[in-house]
Structure 1
Amino acid sequence: MALATQPSEATDRAATVRSPGSSLLEPHTLQKISKMELVARQVMDGYVQGMHKSPHVGFALDFAQHRQYVPGDDVKRIDWRVYAKADRYYIKQYEVTTNLRCSIVLDASGSMKYQGATDPLSKFRFGQFVAACLAYIVLHQQDSAGLITFDTKIRSFIPTKSTPSQLMRILRTLDTTHAENETGIAPILHEIAERIDRRGLVVIISDLFEDPDKLMEAMHHLRHKRHEVILLQVMANDELEFPFRKWSQFENLELPTDKIRLDPALMRAIYLENLKKHQEALRIGLAKQHVSHLLLNTSQPFDEVLMTYLAQRMGRK
């Protein structure tokens, strides 16, 4: 449940969109992205071997075709099932696919509408910018990007592609998606694990208001499907520090009728302790699943926190 001191403070104060996609990649945003591209490329290369599909046929991930065996071929590549049917030797050929497939998953549930009193963006708008930047970087480097948005259901599913029109399709979807309704992160991630038919990089942007144990089961499912996973946890500064002092009304943004009025001073220590336990459970569980995790504070410029993360990732290579 997200924080909200008053209903008026729980609204999404994102800028009005002039046309679909236009507000997410304006010139000043592209200028920020350009500083990230080189580092991003080096980091993403850590997930794949190279940037492009190899023109030759060799050992790799994706099956291409059969061809008849000729002397000198590696007998280990003979397909004995085909031999049993055709009474001839055939070997399997594989296509070396090193193009990155990046599926960007954005939480569009009601809790993402929250915007802290001093934050320039709501969590959802912050997530939209991060998703747009990642899509731009991936596609600009001739890799494939896709977008999935969800609340209690998958609301949009754009499969990964590297076509020229893909970026605008993603931007239009981002700009016409609104944060609302309840959420079910873990069940949705299980569904996503089954629907993404080829392994790749899955970047999840969410506030992660989910039971850590259920979330770890979903992470295990994605990892079992051989996906690399990055979790970008977006939270407002108020949610991290609980700075409220006066009696306030707190509202569940996913269930607007769920409200409570209390003295924040009496709850601050309890809230922060519970938050600490939640974050520690995430840290330990995600480390065991070999899932990268970054906490993004919406009070900070999105490009700075992304650049810091990318630099850290590059340093670990």
Structure 2
Amino acid sequence: MRVSALILPVYPWREGRHIWREAEDAGFHAAYTYDHLSWRTFRDGPWFGAVPTLTAAAGVTRRLRLGTMVTSPNFRHPVTLAKDVMTLDDVSDGRITVGIGAGGIGFDAAVLGQAPWSTAERTERFEEFVPLLDRLLTDGDTTHHGKHYSAYEARMLPGCVQRPRVPLAVAATGPRGLALAARHGQAWITTGPARKGDETDPELLPGIIAGQLDGLARACAAQDRDPAELSHVLLTGFTREQPLDSVQAFVDFAGRYAALGIDEIVVHRPIPGTCFDPGQGIYEELPAALTAAFGA
């Protein structure tokens, strides 16, 4: 079991540089950031770009894995994203993971001036976006003519430091997204119920995630792939569970989900006075507590 941090891109770098180093020094496995242009209750405050933030974080850390949690087609194109990711992989000496999801509605979903896409269109775009991103990061020269995304002699040289490419962590709960994770992912991400802000009884949540894991296993079987080849990542903070009430509460929470097959839990670095306030005073203790409970 690993614990990773989610650091919102709300800090000017004179402050942020210390926060990313803090995550490495505390022993977190990875530190991720959201790839949005604005987000929820933070829309009227500072919010910096994910790619420059991760580039800067790569320069002040040495061991910590880094990545998006998650990027989406809402305002990204596979060709330009692949070039940015390849460069991040080089700058970080092979420490980048690309978390990727289908995107949602609201916040910055229509920031480029388009009408928000329906669930069906987001899924359709996602099914084209992920395979093309896979090809771009794997091959040196890609040409593709698709319904939503195209590439013409897109060069990705010298290629990724990590071979055959940077790992993809696919966020999915439904069968079509799980099929993409099984086909292209090195990790799978869940936040729990498919609907954000779901008021599901916390006692029912492990069963919901167990059902998602079963769906992932079926999707992997259809691809003749062992689901154990994928890391299983739980991003916390979007349910009524309270894993950050205390160190022991977090260890107990991790144990419940480890028993299901989750092997990485992501917690938000606390921000006082926000929805991510929980965890004050225990955040930096979590990696050592998990190591003590589960081993290195």
TM-score, normalised via structure 2 length = 0.39
TM-score, normalised via structure 1 length = 0.37
RCO greater where, 1 or 2, for CA within 8 Å and sep 6 or more?
1
